[in-house]
Amino acid sequence: MPIRNLVFQRTAGETIILNDTITITVLATHANSVKLAITAPEDVRIWRGEIYTTPGQAMPPKEVPVVPAQILILVDEMFPQYQVCLAGPETEMIQELYAGTNYAAALSMAQTHSAALGVPIVDETGDAEDRAGIEADWREEAPADDNP
């Protein structure tokens, strides 16, 4: 069966309908680009030409966004700092919000995000005595200043 090649000229807001089930709408045109919206049944594969390699290739898996379930305050074991991050339900880190040596700043950042998102804070840094010991260790491990 021969492949048909049709050329259309459309302006913003105009559509093209394919096979009664696929609608292509021109959203905007610019000097050297066109913004399109494609509405099609779920079983229709839609690829950008630069990533399509093989007829019948499987669609890449959809990334499912992880919704923050908690705000974690941690002691970073690699660097002498506190970390505040958004975490999912099983403590997988979604986004780092703060990294620094000031616990009060870390706690303030956590409280702000907790109130905005309505999720609890999980503080894994211990109590004030634990944090004082951690910070004393950081001072001991800090490199000596070579400048007089």
- Tell me: pLDDT of 24 over 80: yes
CA distance 39 to 16: 11
Residue 82 and residue 98 in contact, taking contact as beta carbons nearer than 8 Å:
yes
Q: How confident is the model at residue 107 (pLDDT cuts 50, 70, 90)?
A: very high
CA distance 30 to 14: 15
Higher-scoring residue by pLDDT: 138, 49: 138
N- to C-terminal Cα distance for the chain? 84
Higher-scoring residue by pLDDT: 19, 52: 19
Section 65-77 average pLDDT: 78
> Which pLDDT value is given to residue 137?
85
Q: Please, what is the average pLDDT of the chain? A: 80
Higher-scoring residue by pLDDT: 63, 76: 76
pTM for this model (two decimals): 0.51
Question: Per-residue pLDDT tens for 32-67?
Answer: 778 888 888 877 777 777 666 666 666 565 555 566
% of the chain at pLDDT higher than 90: 7
Q: Which of 57, 79, 82 is nearest to 71 (CA)?
A: 82
Section 13-21 average pLDDT: 88
- Tell me: pLDDT of 13 over 70: yes
CA distance 110 to 105: 9
> Which pLDDT value is given to residue 66?
60
